[in-house]
């Protein structure tokens, strides 16, 4: 198979064996810097799910655009790379991204129990 298929199969095997897979360097340092700038400048009053975040004290959970700006560029890069793995993991040929955003935890934030992390229906955007 191709290098891409080999990578996907290896990641899938690792995910199956350990329940997690670490993927390094999926987007460039420059893209990470641009994304950090976008997050830092994002208005605190922007759309998000901070009100429904578990243990919300000292946490900020905000939605970001999936198709514009640094978050859009990062989303598209990640989708391109991760779609084959997501298709295997979710047993579908058409995996969809349903949320794009960031969660920051500041000193003093309490630990959260393990949980699914999806936005309320009103905030979901599927591509």
- Please determine, for residue 123, whether its predicted confidence score (pLDDT) is greater than 70: no
- In tens, the pLDDT along 55-103 reads 888 888 888 999 999 999 999 999 888 999 889 888 999 888 878 888 8
CA 22 – CA 29 distance, rounded (Å): 17
The CA-to-CA distance between both ends of the chain, in Å, stands at 28
CA 105 – CA 59 distance, rounded (Å): 5
CA 59 – CA 54 distance, rounded (Å): 9
Structure letter (DSSP) for residue 110 = P
- Please determine, for residue 1, whether its predicted confidence score (pLDDT) is greater than 50: no
Burial (CB < 10 A; 0-12, 13-18, 19+), residue 31, is middle
pLDDT band at 126 (very low <50, low <70, confident <90, very high): very low
Q: What is the pTM of this model?
A: 0.71
- Please determine, for residue 108, whether its predicted confidence score (pLDDT) is greater than 90: yes
């Amino acid at each position: 198979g191709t290098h891409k298929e080999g990578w996907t199969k290896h990641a899938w095997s690792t995910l199956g064996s350990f329940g997690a897979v670490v993927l390094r360097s999926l987007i460039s340092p420059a893209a990470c810097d641009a994304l950090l700038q976008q997050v830092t400048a994002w208005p605190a009053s922007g759309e998000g799910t901070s009100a429904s975040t578990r243990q919300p004290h000292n946490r900020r959970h905000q939605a970001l655009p999936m198709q514009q700006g640094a978050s859009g560029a990062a989303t598209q890069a990640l989708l391109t790379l991760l779609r084959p793995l997501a298709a295997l993991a979710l047993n579908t040929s058409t995996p969809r991204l349903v949320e794009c955003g960031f969660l920051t935890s500041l000193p003093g934030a309490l630990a959260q129990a393990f949980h699914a992390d999806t936005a309320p229906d009103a905030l979901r955007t599927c591509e």
